[in-house]
Chain A
Amino acid sequence: MFKKIMVPVDLAHLDVIEPSLKIVADQAKHYDAEVCYVGITATTPGSVARTPEEFTQKLEAFAQERAKVHGQPVSTHTIVSPDPIADLDDDLIEAIDEVGADLVVMPTHPPKHADVIMPSHGGKVATHTKASVFLVRPRADD
């Protein structure tokens, strides 16, 4: 049913996305789909990488690691933004079409009051794309 799964990853906080990565692996195997790991980095040096190109390298290495886990084909897509925190949602929505994904799997937090001012990234992406979006919420026992 799904051919290409897009997975936004935050290389600085891999622990947060761990549960959703497991789901991605299951889904990819189930649908025999390709997984495209998407990362967003600032133009300025950051904690993950000192240049956008170093970031791309690390993302690629990460994808290859994941390929060993689920055995499905992988690809990567790096988004470089002057202000990643503010542009994240719009950049991800754009990336869905660019990579041609038909399913997006991303972690999110449970709804909270602050969402009125700062909507969750997952929620915003889901309302602005034609692709299916699977939002993974942390479980109470996690």
Chain B
Amino acid sequence: MAQDPKDKKPQEPNTGSEGIPAPEGAVNLIDTDYVIGQDNITASPLGINVDLHGKVFLFSAIVIMLFVVVTLALQDQMEPIFNAMFSFMTTKLGWFFLLGANVFMLLALVLIFTPLGKVRIGGADATPDFGYLGWFSMLFAAGMGIGLMFYGVSEPLGHFGTAMGGISMGEDGVRTDWAPLGAAAGDQAGAIDLSMAATIFHWGLHPWGAYAIVGLSLAIFAFNKGLPLTMRSIFYPILGERIWGWPGHVIDILAVFATLFGLTTSLGLGATQAAGGLNYLFGIPNTETTLVILILGITLVALGSILLGVDKGVQRLSQLNMVLALLLLLFVILVGPTLLIATGVVDNLLGYVKNLPALSMPFGREDANFSQGWTAFYWAWWIAWSPFVGMFIARVSRGRTVREFLISVLLVPTLASVVWMTAFGTTAIDQVINQGITGVQDAALELQLFTMLEHLPLSAITSFIGIVLVIVFFITSSDSGSLVIDSITAGGKVDAPKPQRIFWALIEGALAIALLLGGGLAALQTAALTTGLPFTLVLLVGCYGIVKGLMSEPRSK
């Protein structure tokens, strides 16, 4: 038998740089002599193979260890420092976050309608690696998941309360209230409009705009330009070959830092929420032991999912969560004030659009508490979270066109947020103003969702689904996070040995437990948020990189 033509893929004669064949269909590869993994260290300590980028791995590991030891040992000294750092960031630099987020959102929105939207990730003839449902579930689970569970009830309710309360001035003429914009003192309908618009604003186009910019730039530079899948690659248009040296190392270390601390603190806080829910629902004592068992359990399931990989692990769990979340959403819509929710979706969407310019205005804000304490805080959080989410969605988005990518990462999740926030927020507000149930308002933040469900039928089942959702969202965050950190610390390799992924998942769990028991979780969360500042700069560079990168790509017909 001679060569079997079926066994070979059709060879495209088009070449990128130096005779490297382009991926499926034409692309414009970057011409570089750098070989991915050339700075890596390979070894087999104790019979376990490792393949790591020496400098990035070593420095991130050292920085992380130092940080943890210092925050644990010098808790009382460190906390004021972190708090001062963070309040400086939000009060003095709040405008910078608001401005940056506007840039990301507008660029992502504009790109949909330009001819650049026709460029396909992975080459003009590339086909998607994942189906729509699996792809979209993964985008959503990585991007927000847990936050929707936590804030779906508490945020609309919180804004509603402050908006009703109206404006109050301090002695120095600075507003002391936390209401958005001009508040709506005593005006119930106005307060509902404003609170829903403000909530959707925080969960709508802006956060997804930041994710889209990171995800798209990483995807283009990896799949179309042939650079490794790490943050440093999007700096190529500016730094050129220097990204392989220290400037690149610093960017990658920063990305590891933000991802790991973002994940760890969320894991700790999420366990707190799940434990609160379990206590509320089943009377399981809310002790440190419960928390540790929860984190161990989450880490263990995450390990299993990591071993199964993206396709069979993360994708399946994300789909499971999608179905559960959809069921919960439908239940709340049907059992809650259906008519109010249905009309609310349209009203809130319009209210969002109407209030968008005022809410996103970076300068001359009078509602300092709201725009700095809420909006700037959220923006810093989304942006700090963006290397992780962006890198993960980049990895699963090969084969989509830029337009398809942006619609799915920007518009669809925003609409989903509108529906979700409307359903949960309206139901909670309806309970408070029309049914005179104040239990939800009085409950602790992490219990507000469960308190709201308690006043609907079948609350035992729905609350349980709520807890499961919280936990599974954490599992997907933990395993996709481990994949991302592993690939950054392996110099962009996604096929580094499996034990490395396990290592990172274990580190996440161990750190979360150490910080939860030793204290300092809140301080570290502040530290993770602080990485939002340098990353806003990284993303602004990414904006330049995307446009530059897309301009040089051939567009599919």
One of B209-217, B244-252, B492-500, B516-524 at the interface: B492-500
Given A51-B29, A56-B9, is A86 in contact with B226 using a C-beta cutoff of 8 Å?
Answer: no
The tally of residues in A whose CB lies under 8 Å from a CB in B reads 37
Residue of A nearest to B306 (CB): A86
Q: Are A86 and B308 in contact (CB under 8 A)?
A: yes
Q: Are A82 and B229 in contact (CB under 8 A)?
A: no
Given A50-B36, A82-B398, is A43 in contact with B223 using a C-beta cutoff of 8 Å?
Answer: yes
Q: Are A82 and B307 in contact (CB under 8 A)?
A: no
Q: Give the CA-CA distance A3 to B4 in the complex, in Å.
A: 13
Binary CB contact string for chain B from 190 to 234 against chain A (1 if under 8 A, 0 otherwise):
000000000000000000000000000000001100111100000
Q: Are A53 and B23 in contact (CB under 8 A)?
A: yes
Q: A132: CB under 8 A from chain B?
A: no
Q: Quick one: which of A75, A77, A86, A118 contacts B310, CB cutoff 8 A? A: A86
Q: Give the CA-CA distance A52 to B46 in the complex, in Å.
A: 33
One of B14-22, B172-180, B332-340, B365-373 at the interface: B14-22
Q: B187: CB under 8 A from chain A?
A: no
Q: Give the CA-CA distance A36 to B35 in the complex, in Å.
A: 27
Q: Give the CA-CA distance A4 to B1 in the complex, in Å.
A: 9
Least distance between A68 CB and chain B CB atoms (Å): 15
The tally of residues in B whose CB lies under 8 Å from a CB in A reads 53
Chain B residue numbers with a CB within 8 Å of A54 are 20-21
Q: B158: CB under 8 A from chain A?
A: no
Chain B residue numbers with a CB within 8 Å of A78 are 9
Interface residues of A in 1-57 (CB under 8 A from B): 3-4, 34, 36, 42-47, 49-54, 56-57
Least distance between B21 CB and chain A CB atoms (Å): 4
Q: B396: CB under 8 A from chain A?
A: yes
Q: Quick one: which of B4, B35, B47, B229 contacts A112, CB cutoff 8 A? A: B47
Least distance between B317 CB and chain A CB atoms (Å): 14
Least distance between A92 CB and chain B CB atoms (Å): 14
Residue of A nearest to B218 (CB): A44
Chain A residue numbers with a CB within 8 Å of B1 are 3-4, 34, 73
B contacts with A: majority SS: loop
Q: B37: CB under 8 A from chain A?
A: yes
Q: Give the CA-CA distance A25 to B16 in the complex, in Å.
A: 35
Q: Give the CA-CA distance A50 to B229 in the complex, in Å.
A: 11
Q: Are A46 and B493 in contact (CB under 8 A)?
A: yes
Chain A residue numbers with a CB within 8 Å of B4 are 36, 75, 99
Given A53-B21, A53-B22, A118-B498, is A86 in contact with B312 using a C-beta cutoff of 8 Å?
Answer: yes
Interface residues of B in 25-53 (CB under 8 A from A): 29, 35-38, 40, 47-48
Q: A117: CB under 8 A from chain B?
A: yes
Binary CB contact string for chain A from 69 to 85 against chain B (1 if under 8 A, 0 otherwise):
00001111110011111
Q: B129: CB under 8 A from chain A?
A: yes
Chain A residue numbers with a CB within 8 Å of B557 are none
Q: Give the CA-CA distance A99 to B495 in the complex, in Å.
A: 24
Residue of A nearest to B35 (CB): A47
Q: Are B307 and A86 in contact (CB under 8 A)?
A: yes
Interface residues of B in 339-385 (CB under 8 A from A): none
Residue from B3, B20, B29, B498 whose CB has the most chain A CB atoms within 10 Å: B3
Q: Give the CA-CA distance A118 to B483 in the complex, in Å.
A: 17
Chain B residue numbers with a CB within 8 Å of A60 are 8
Q: Are A44 and B7 in contact (CB under 8 A)?
A: no
Q: B435: CB under 8 A from chain A?
A: no
Given A51-B22, A57-B21, A73-B2, is A44 in contact with B47 using a C-beta cutoff of 8 Å?
Answer: no
Q: Are A56 and B8 in contact (CB under 8 A)?
A: yes
Q: Quick one: which of B35, B48, B492 contacts A44, CB cutoff 8 A? A: B492
Q: Are B222 and A86 in contact (CB under 8 A)?
A: no
Q: Are A76 and B7 in contact (CB under 8 A)?
A: yes
Residue of B nearest to A55 (CB): B21
Residue from A54, A84, A86 whose CB has the most chain B CB atoms within 10 Å: A86
Least distance between A15 CB and chain B CB atoms (Å): 11
Q: Are B122 and A53 in contact (CB under 8 A)?
A: no
Chain B residue numbers with a CB within 8 Å of A4 are 1
The 30 sampled A-B contact pairs (Cβ below 8 Å) are A44-B222, A44-B223, A44-B228, A44-B229, A44-B494, A45-B36, A45-B226, A45-B228, A45-B492, A47-B36, A50-B36, A51-B20, A51-B22, A51-B23, A52-B23, A52-B24, A53-B21, A53-B23, A56-B21, A57-B21, A73-B1, A75-B7, A76-B7, A81-B311, A83-B483, A84-B494, A86-B311, A86-B498, A87-B309, A117-B307
Supplied contacts A46-B495, A82-B311, 14 more A-B pairs, CB within 8 Å: A43-B223, A44-B222, A45-B222, A46-B494, A47-B36, A50-B226, A53-B9, A53-B12, A53-B21, A53-B23, A54-B20, A87-B311, A114-B47, A118-B499
User: Which A residues form the contact surface with B (CB < 8 A)?
Assistant: 3-4, 34, 36, 42-47, 49-54, 56-57, 60, 73-78, 81-87, 99, 112, 114, 117-118
Pick the 6 closest A-B CB pairs, nearest first. A86-B309, A47-B37, A50-B226, A53-B21, A83-B310, A83-B309
